[in-house]
Amino acid sequence: MNETQYTDEFKLCVVDHPQEVDVIQDADGNMYTVAAPQKPLLAVDHRNEDLQQWLSEKDLLFWESNVLSKDPANPADLRDTLFLTFPKPANADKAKLVVHGCTTLWGSQMLRRMTEIRGDQLENWYAGLNNAAQKEMLNAWNKREQIYKLQVYIWAANTWAHRGEIMGGGPFIAEERVVPLDLADIEGDTLKIRVSPPTGFWQLNSFAVDYSQDVPFEFHDISASSATGHDGVDLRSVLESTDANYYVMPEVGQRAYLTFPVPPPKLNSERTVFAKVSGYYDMHLNASGKPKSEIVHRILSEPGYVTKFALQEYFKWRSDQLEKAEK
């Protein structure tokens, strides 16, 4: 990507667990064992269209918004709503919702566009993100718009109750995450879940629910035995911990090479390996001139406007591409 990558820590987390379970993380890196994930009994959208083929299996069939059928001027077209129904044991008061999906490539492009429109005030905005009040405002905006954090609701006591969120990742690799759910106030033998992804920002592959108790497992953080940057520098001390000592890659194509020792296998166990990475990136932007203040204000203050703006930008881009193809 056209950005500068800053990598702070890079280790492997090696997990040895019973063969009959999988180990999956939540958005905060907490690990859960999943033994018996159950597919949805029903998966439909707000038009009552059957979505089982898209959302029941971890496969190559991803649900996405039908963007070409949407009208940016129609508020009803700015969001899809998906309803999922799962079986629920009568005594279950907790569940693990297992979601496989990610944000779209267009969502990544919109992050760039929404940042560029700040023009010559971009650096001031970046600096303001370190302010606690600004962070709180941004988190509230993320929760409201659900562009990169999709909110999860369950049907409880005759209303839709907020119970968690699906962290956006991707767009090039879909990730599987657990969303822990509190079911203490859910009666009956079904669990109903609702998510409302904004149009064009999410691609979702599968949903499942697991009611099993977590079982013990062992895990170890493994440091690299060798780590060499694109310039030949030894990076082992740089990548050993989260300490704001970054390995910086400003150019596309730069690489680092890491080698890790393999812990001895544990008898009668299965092994899952996670990359434990911290850092951030700076996009290389053409941010100059006066900021488009009206658009920025509407994105921040007007519910749904960010999706409307994204749809408008998409149709402009698509029209340009079709025009180029005809020449």
Per-residue pLDDT of the chain (327 residues; tens, 9 = 90+): 889 999 999 999 999 999 999 999 999 999 999 999 999 999 999 999 999 999 999 999 999 999 999 999 999 999 999 999 999 998 999 999 999 999 999 998 999 999 999 999 988 888 888 789 988 998 999 999 999 999 999 999 999 999 999 998 878 889 999 999 999 999 899 999 999 999 999 999 999 999 999 999 999 999 999 999 999 999 999 999 999 999 999 999 999 999 999 999 999 999 999 999 999 998 888 888 999 999 999 999 999 999 999 999 999 999 999 999 988
pLDDT of residue 38: 97
pLDDT of residue 1: 80
Q: How many residues does the chain have?
A: 327
pLDDT of residue 172: 86
pLDDT of residue 26: 96
CATH fold for domain 22-214+292-326: Jelly Rolls (2.60.120)
Give the separation between CA 174 and CA 274, rounded to whole angstroms.
14
- Who contacts 106 (Cβ-Cβ below 8 Å, separation ≥6)? 67, 200, 201, 310, 314
pLDDT of residue 34: 98
Give the separation between CA 165 and CA 176, rounded to whole angstroms.
13
- Closest to 8 measured CA to CA, from 249, 283, 307, 296: 249
Domain boundaries, the chain: 22-214+292-326
pLDDT of residue 320: 93
